[in-house]
Amino acid sequence: MQAPVGFRIIASGSEFEARVEEVVLSIPPGAVAAYSVVAEQAGRSGAARAVGAVMARSDGLPWHRVVTVAGRLVPGHEAEHAERLRAEGVRVRDGHVAAPIPWWDATTGSDPNVASTARRAGRGRPSRGSPR
């Protein structure tokens, strides 16, 4: 069946795609998450590449907040990736997020920037929030 002239058929994404989008949208500015963590939170452990594919097809997602488990930026898009992360206060060096990497804690949804602010003020203790 063909759509009438002037109409566009938009296929809805899968349940996994919707969950990936939800997870990526929950990563706060100034924090990053690994593709593997996003996949796990979206219910498909081990589907890191599928997360990348979903993000490549999606508009409006803060894709720049997702990096490899080693902190590597998206190959071929390093300049834009770095620019977007730096605009949120994330340090980038040589195509990677610079240490200490501000990993988002997916289990609590906590913002690593809030925790580090508390530590600088003498409250709290350092977290070990790194991707699995």
Read off the CATH number of the domain in which 87 is found. 1.10.10.10
Work out the end-to-end distance of the chain between its first and last CA atoms, rounded to an integer number of angstroms: 46
| Mean pLDDT computed over every residue of the chain | 84
Domain-located, residue 102: yes
User: Which residues have C-beta within 8 Å of that of residue 56, sequence separation ≥ 6?
Assistant: none
Domain-located, residue 131: no
Domain-located, residue 8: no
Domain-located, residue 128: no
Q: What percent of the chain has pLDDT over 90?
A: 66
Domain-located, residue 56: yes
- The total of structural domains in the chain comes to 1
20: confidence class by pLDDT, cuts 50, 70, 90:
very high
Domain hosting 44: range is 15-120
pTM of the model: 0.76
Average pLDDT estimate for 32-57: 95
pLDDT value at residue 124? 40
- Please check the confidence at residue 44 and state whether its pLDDT lies above 60: yes
Domain-located, residue 52: yes
Side-chain half-sphere CA neighbours of 71 within 13 A: 19
- Please check the confidence at residue 76 and state whether its pLDDT lies above 60: yes
